[in-house]
């Protein structure tokens, strides 16, 4: 029986991996799996060798303070992979963890195929990494078509499979009437998946909601959590005595709620593509400690944090970063946009145009699963 070891480094990667493996199980059920993953892969019957939270750190200082723990987990993963004897390592995103494991494995056993999904963003920073990747990556699956020129130049095999968050979906609708009062308008809030993000952003977002409640009484604020941080976010919000705030973590429910929202406030990240795909006006927020921020600013080659803004080289989705990421600025931006429908329509139109330019004609998970299966049967 063929074997695949799946490497992820955070909840979003776990989610993406599960979509691909779900499709692969349908076309090739005779595969054995092990992983570093979370609840999404677990729902497919694939248990992780340790809790994903043990390696989910953000920022240079956080990584530095936990460097020995991270190294320990990398070495443990390498040992488990070698013991498992896979035919393929399927790594997803989180390159500072997943690709370090793949690199070590390839040195020990060059016959194991290494396939990476979600290319490291060499077009934003550290392009020189490509020379290193060429030594141990067999195939890179790209989310954006403009990435291919970088990997072609480095002579690394790559395939544009598209981004799963911008696929056109035809999901059955869920009745939300039992959850949401008809006289309430939904504002969706995405506080992030990492503990280090939510600890910073939750207090700011709660203060923003209080400012909104002082002026308006017709909004329902719904926090989109992951299965991993759902409990922590609920506990935090329940302690604040706000009766127009809810937390959801079910994927189908989240998607339906977002589609019926009038606005979204989202932590900078790939979720903004899903928001754009559903044509919901939004703003982006983000805040990390100043040391990490200045290090990052010195390394990145782009002016913006959001992918839509990066592609267009201008601010289509407002970004409130660092000192601007505070309750008053979020409140001012949200109220301004809600009071200016022409601005929101203009944003949605610009996002639609951008998505059409980068959208794949096929399903990302379908394409990725077919490539994995071709390696299994070759």
The residue to which tokens 């203060």 are assigned = 207
CA atoms within 13 A on the CB side of 354: 26
How far apart, in whole angstroms, are the C-alpha atoms of residue 37 and residue 46?
8
User: Shortest CA distance to 343 belongs to which of 263, 269, 242, 247?
Assistant: 263
Indicate the angle between helix axes 95-108 and 67-84, nearest 10 degrees: 40
Segment 7-30 mean pLDDT: 95
* Segment 265-313, tens digit of pLDDT: 999 988 999 999 999 999 999 997 776 666 666 666 678 989 999 999 9
The span from the CA of 91 to the CA of 17, in Å, is: 8
> Is 364 within 8 Å of 164 (Cβ atoms)?
yes
Q: Confidence band (pLDDT; 50, 70, 90) for 62?
A: low
- Please state, for a pLDDT cut of 70, what percent of the chain lies above it: 91
Region 241-255: mean pLDDT is 92
CA distances from 98 to 18, 115, 285 (A): 16, 11, 27
Question: Bridge-partner residues for 282, per DSSP?
Answer: 264
CB 278 within 8 A of CB 259: yes
The per-residue pLDDT for 360 is 87
What's the pLDDT score for residue 166?
87
Between CA 35 and CA 80 the distance in angstroms is: 9
As given in the structure block, the two tokens for residue 138 are 């067999």
Q: How far apart are CA 118 and CA 126, in angstroms?
A: 16
pLDDT exceeds cutoff 90 at 19? yes
Contact between residue 270 and residue 12 where contact means Cβ atoms under 8 Å apart: yes
Tens digit of each residue's pLDDT (9 = 90 or more) over 81-105: 999 999 999 999 999 899 999 999 9
Q: Which residues contact 143 (CB under 8 A, 6 or more apart)?
A: 118, 119, 161, 162, 163, 364
Residue 80 pLDDT greater than 70, yes or no: yes
Beta bridge partners of residue 267, listed in sequence order:
285
Q: Would you state the structure tokens that stand for residue 367, as one six-digit string?
A: 């394409």
Which pLDDT score, from 0 to 100, does residue 362 have?
87
Check pLDDT > 60 for residue 315. yes
d(CA 6, CA 310): 30
For residue 260, the model assigns a pLDDT of 94
Q: State yes or no: pLDDT of 107 exceeds 90.
A: yes
Kindly tell me if the per-residue pLDDT of 178 is higher than 80: no
Instruction: Please give the mean pLDDT across all residues of the chain.
Output: 91
Residue 341 has pLDDT above 90, yes or no: yes
Higher pLDDT, 358 or 110: 110
Q: Residue 291's pLDDT is what?
A: 66
Per-residue pLDDT tens over the stretch 121-160: 887 777 889 999 999 999 999 999 999 999 999 999 999 9
pLDDT of residue 123: 77
Domains observed in the chain: 2-165+361-377 (3.40.50.2000), 185-358 (3.40.50.2000)
pLDDT (0 to 100) of residue 103:
97
């Amino acid at each position: 029986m063929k074997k695949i070891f799946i490497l992820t480094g955070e909840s979003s990667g776990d989610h993406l991996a599960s979509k691909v493996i779900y499709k692969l199980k349908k076309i090739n059920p005779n595969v054995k799996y092990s992983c570093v993953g979370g609840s999404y892969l677990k729902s497919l019957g694939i248990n992780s060798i340790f809790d994903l939270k043990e390696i989910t750190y953000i920022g240079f200082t956080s990584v530095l303070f936990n460097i020995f723990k991270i190294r320990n987990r990398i070495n443990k993963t390498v040992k488990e992979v070698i013991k498992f004897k896979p035919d393929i390592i399927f790594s997803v995103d989180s390159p500072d963890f997943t690709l370090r494991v793949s690199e070590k494995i390839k040195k020990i056993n060059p016959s194991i195929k290494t396939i990476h999904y979600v290319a490291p963003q060499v077009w934003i920073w550290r392009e020189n990494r490509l020379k290193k990747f060429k030594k141990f990556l067999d195939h890179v699956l790209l989310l954006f078509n403009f990435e291919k020129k970088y990997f072609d130049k480095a002579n690394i095999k790559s395939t544009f499979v598209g981004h799963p968050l911008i696929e056109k979906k035809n999901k059955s609708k869920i009745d939300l009437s039992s959850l949401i009062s008809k006289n309430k308008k939904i504002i969706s809030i995405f506080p992030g998946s990492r503990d280090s993000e939510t600890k910073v952003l939750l207090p700011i977002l709660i203060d923003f909601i209080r400012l909104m409640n002082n002026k308006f009484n017709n909004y329902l604020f719904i926090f989109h959590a992951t299965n991993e941080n759902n409990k922590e976010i609920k506990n935090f919000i329940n302690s604040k005595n706000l009766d127009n705030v809810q937390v959801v973590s079910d994927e189908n429910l989240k998607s339906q709620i977002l589609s019926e929202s009038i606005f979204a406030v989202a932590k900078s990240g790939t979720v903004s593509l899903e928001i754009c795909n559903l044509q919901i006006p939004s703003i982006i927020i983000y805040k990390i400690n100043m040391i990490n921020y200045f290090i990052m600013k010195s390394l990145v080659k782009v002016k913006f944090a959001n992918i839509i803004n990066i592609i267009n080289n201008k601010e289509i989705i407002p970004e409130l970063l660092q000192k601007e990421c505070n309750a008053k600025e979020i409140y001012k931006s949200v109220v301004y946009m809600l009071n200016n429908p022409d601005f929101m329509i203009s944003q949605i139109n610009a996002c639609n145009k951008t998505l059409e330019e980068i959208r794949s004609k096929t399903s990302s998970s379908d394409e990725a699963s077919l490539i994995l299966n071709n390696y299994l049967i070759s």
